[in-house]
Amino acid sequence: PNPNNGQEFRISVQGLDELGVVQLILRDIRGRVIDSQQMTFDKRSGDFLWRTNGTLESGIYLMEVQSETESTTVRFLVK
């Protein structure tokens, strides 16, 4: 959800092959990397649940999702 509570994120990925590896990179608004994780995506499951190492401070963050062939970034707000 956007805004978010800063503790966990549900990330839905579409358009990838049946099985693939994605890199999730969480950045603050200045572009500094806060956390990153590599996950195996199974098209049948449809989404990921990513729990942070703690609660993020209020502010705007960027979530970048990278596959072998594509990359997209989503901006979201933590209350």
pTM, full prediction: 0.76
Q: Is residue 30 exposed (0-12), middle (13-18) or buried (19+ Cβ within 10 Å)? A: exposed
> In the prediction, which pLDDT does 16 show?
59
The whole-number pLDDT of residue 19 equals 61
What's the token pair of residue 5?
């509570």
Q: Locate 36 and state its tokens.
A: 């990153």
CA distance linking residue 68 with residue 77, whole number of Å:
27
The stretch 45-71 carries a mean pLDDT of: 81
Q: What pLDDT, on the 0 to 100 scale, is given for residue 14?
A: 66
Q: Which of 20, 2, 5 is nearest to 65 (CA)?
A: 20
Domains belonging to the chain, first-starting first, are 8-78 (2.60.40.1930)
